[in-house]
Amino acid sequence: MREKPDEKWREVTVADIKAYIGFQIVMGVIIAPRLDDYFSTDEMFGICGIKHRINRDRFDKINQYFHAADTSMNPHRGDAGHDKIAHVRPVLEKVRTSLSSAYRPHRESAIDEAMVAYTGRLSIKQYVPMKPTKRGIKVWVRADPHNGFINDFQVYLGKENNTGEYGLGERVVLDLTRDILNRGHHIYMDNFFTSVKLFEKLEENDTYTCGTVRAQRQGVPPQIRNANIKNQGESVIMQKRNMVALTWKDKRPVNLLSTNTDPRRQTTVLRRQKDGSRIDVPCPEVVKNYTKFMNGVDRADQLRALYSCGRKASKWWKYLFWFLVDISIVCGYILMKESPDHQRKSRNGRQKQLSMVDYRKSLAKQLIGIYMVRNKRKAMKENTSYADGSNCWVADMGKKRRCEHCKPRGIRREPRFGCEACGVNLCVECFKPYHLERFPDRYTR
């Protein structure tokens, strides 16, 4: 049976979608307990200016019918070729390829898992008890430990036919590093991924690795597996060509495998004792390097959690979509910070850093722009002269943009001034002809 069309629905434009995403970014910066609070007219508890740009009905309809992909051609569940994340696949691939090509990574990279929080029913939902976010969608991530930039990622789609994938960790690492093989990069990972076979395969491709390793993994020397170290700071090291296996006693034994560190290099770490004193404990350099460079994904998660624009939704794929938006914003912020063309200075000539919240505010303003969908009755009550041009005056628009009268004539001018009522930038000499064309009945009487 064909459903009756929604009488309140109106077609959306590119400006509608850009403004909708901009409003979501604003909601991440200014957090309200309920969505209704963003449209409240209460003078005391009015949250922000969203209600002045869009009415609640229009926002609800865009939110209700918002989709990121056409899934009509996706095969049914259980059929060959079915894509479990077809709802966001086009956006996901666009974000992934853009991040891979937009930034040249440092020599060191870290591979770990990130979690997109979700507690509803979903076949790809995972439970990871050791993570702060224990239930949700698991995403394998390769990130830059120097700044948290996400170089590549892959959504874990769970088991196929209730059968686990053999060699999952090895396959994930090879997938995420395919763009940087044979370039001398150093990859850091935890014991879920680390194996002797994987490290040998990466070394053959001029890619060097370091990671904690489970003592029972195939290929780990029995001297490491059965080591009995009693004193803090002691270690047992075994080497096979360029591969080093070691166990080091901190508060508990730590097992590592490495192909990028000289085992003879030793350093120290500061440790607090039971009596409150601090001492320097001998430590192999590989342990210190692992601690230093394994935090890339955690650093990216910290930046992503700042002012996240995701909100509670009834559809699981929206959580993944807003995850993609958040990592795009984070990586854009990192690119801006490192770009020599976007450095800001104070009046004293000192370098001035733009914070994440300032970046998100600026981005939201650019996406929303002059977008405005207001209640028709309220707009007519406030000002009935906007429609006939009687309230058009020269005003400072706050930013240089192309002149709306020169643009269709192929002339590029970017004045700062324009007409506030019409919401356009205009040259001084274009102000009159523009309004003569737009309101011929009023100005030709």
What's the pLDDT tens digit per position in 93-114? Answer: 999 999 999 999 999 999 999 9
SS3 content of the chain, % helix, strand, coil (to 5): 35, 20, 45
Q: Decide if 239 contacts 258 (C-beta within 8 A).
A: no
Q: Per DSSP, what are the bridge partners of residue 395?
A: 418
Provide Rg for the chain, Cα atoms.
28
Judge whether residue 254 has pLDDT over 60.
Answer: yes
CB-CB neighbours of 443 under 10 Å: 12
Please say which residue of 244, 271, 302 terminates a domain: 302
Shared-domain flag, residues 283 and 141: yes
Residue 203 lies in a domain: yes
| Residue 264: Cβ-neighbour burial (10 angstroms; 0-12, 13-18, 19+) | exposed
Shared-domain flag, residues 419 and 291: no
Shared-domain flag, residues 274 and 412: no
Q: Helices marked H in 165-277 — which ranges?
A: 168-176, 196-204, 222-225
118 — pLDDT class (breaks 50, 70, 90): very high
Shared-domain flag, residues 285 and 432: no
Of 307, 305, 359, 302, residue with least CA distance to 28: 307
Residue 344: the pLDDT is 79
Give, rounded to a whole angstrom, the gap between the first and last alpha carbons of the chain. Answer: 55
Tell me the two tokens of residue 179. Answer: 């763009």
Strands (E) across 157-240 are located at 186-189, 208-212, 235-240
Report the mean per-residue pLDDT for the chain: 88
C-alpha to C-alpha distance for 157 and 155, rounded to whole angstroms: 6
Tell me the two tokens of residue 147. Answer: 């700044």
Domain span at 423 = 387-443
C-alpha to C-alpha distance for 63 and 327, rounded to whole angstroms: 21
Half-sphere exposure of 196 (CA within 13 A, CB side): 17
Of 175, 176, 224, residue with least CA distance to 196: 224
Q: Per DSSP, what are the bridge partners of residue 248?
A: 235, 254
Shared-domain flag, residues 260 and 167: yes
Shared-domain flag, residues 298 and 400: no
Shared-domain flag, residues 294 and 397: no
Judge whether residue 383 has pLDDT over 60.
Answer: no
| Residue 304: Cβ-neighbour burial (10 angstroms; 0-12, 13-18, 19+) | buried
**Secondary structure element (H or E) that encloses residue 436, with its range:** helix 431-438
Residue 442: the pLDDT is 64
Residue 389: the pLDDT is 62
Residue 310: the pLDDT is 85
Shared-domain flag, residues 298 and 395: no
Q: Decide if 24 contacts 311 (C-beta within 8 A).
A: yes
Residue 377: the pLDDT is 41
What contacts 400, CB < 8 A, 6 or more positions away? 414, 415, 416, 425
Of 285, 311, 375, residue with least CA distance to 58: 375
Q: Per DSSP, what are the bridge partners of residue 163?
A: 160
Residue 89 lies in a domain: no
388 — pLDDT class (breaks 50, 70, 90): low
Shared-domain flag, residues 396 and 282: no
Shared-domain flag, residues 125 and 242: yes
Q: Decide if 308 contacts 29 (C-beta within 8 A).
A: no
- Residue showing tokens 């990121």: 68
Q: What's phi and psi for 440, nearest 5 deg?
A: -65, -30
Tell me the two tokens of residue 279. Answer: 């001492």
Please say which residue of 302, 320, 335 terminates a domain: 302
Residue 371 lies in a domain: no
Residue 167 lies in a domain: yes
| Residue 49: Cβ-neighbour burial (10 angstroms; 0-12, 13-18, 19+) | exposed
Residue 220 lies in a domain: yes
pLDDT digits (tens, 9 = 90+) for 36-79: 899 988 878 877 889 889 989 999 999 999 999 999 999 998 88
Residue 142 lies in a domain: yes
Residue 32 to residues 21, 27, 135, 192, 427, Cα–Cα distance (Å): 17, 7, 24, 39, 41
81 — pLDDT class (breaks 50, 70, 90): confident
pLDDT digits (tens, 9 = 90+) for 145-192: 999 999 999 999 988 766 777 889 999 999 999 999 999 999 999 999
Residue 177 lies in a domain: yes
pLDDT digits (tens, 9 = 90+) for 261-292: 888 888 988 888 888 888 888 999 999 999 99
How many distinct structural domains can be found in the chain?
2
Q: Decide if 285 contacts 227 (C-beta within 8 A).
A: no
Shared-domain flag, residues 398 and 276: no
Shared-domain flag, residues 128 and 261: yes
Instruction: Say how far residue 218 (Cα) sits from the centre of its chain.
Output: 36
Please say which residue of 302, 332, 350 terminates a domain: 302
